[in-house]
């Protein structure tokens, strides 16, 4: 498995139909929670004061991550930064670094 640190900045246009916005946000929440329950979307933290988050994904490959991100309902309105992660040799908590778990 591979870990990725993802920053997602959401920029929904102000003139987007409110019904479309609400439906899209609801679909995003449902999809993200399914990924969290599956163990794929390991962590999500809101960035204070912004419509942004920092997340950690645990996936089999960059291709799998690409597919997940492209299927986010809010993807068309996101700026995304991706950083692959690996274990650091000085980490005194190796079990915490190996976020991958059996699914």
pLDDT tens-digit series, residues 43-98: 999 999 999 999 999 999 999 999 999 999 999 999 999 999 988 889 887 665 55
* Residue 98 domain flag: no
Look at residue 78 in the predicted model and tell me its pLDDT: 98
Tally of domains within the chain: 1
**Is the Cβ–Cβ distance between 31 and 14 less than 8 Å?**
no
pTM: 0.85
* Residue 1 pLDDT level (bands cut at 50, 70, 90): confident
Q: Report yes or no on 92 lying in a domain.
A: no
Is residue 79 one of the residues assigned to a domain? Answer: yes
Whether residue 102 lies inside any domain: the answer is no
Q: Is the pLDDT of residue 23 over 80?
A: yes
Domain membership of residue 93 (yes or no) is no
In 21-53, which positions are buried (b, 16+ CB within 10 angstroms) versus exposed (e)?
eeebeeebeebbeebeeeebbbebeeeeeeebb
Q: Does residue 48 belong to any structural domain of this protein?
A: yes
Count of residues making up the chain: 103
């Amino acid at each position: 498995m591979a870990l990725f640190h993802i920053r997602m900045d959401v920029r929904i246009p102000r003139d987007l139909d409110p019904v479309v916005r609400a439906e899209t946000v609801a679909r995003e929440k449902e999809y993200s929670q399914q990924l969290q329950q599956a163990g794929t979307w390991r962590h999500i933290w809101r960035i204070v004061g912004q419509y942004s988050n920092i997340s950690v994904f645990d996936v089999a490959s960059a291709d799998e991550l690409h597919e997940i991100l492209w299927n986010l309902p809010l993807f068309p309105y996101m700026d995304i930064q991706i950083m692959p992660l690996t274990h650091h040799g000085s980490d005194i908590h190796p079990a915490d670094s190996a976020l991958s778990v059996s699914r």
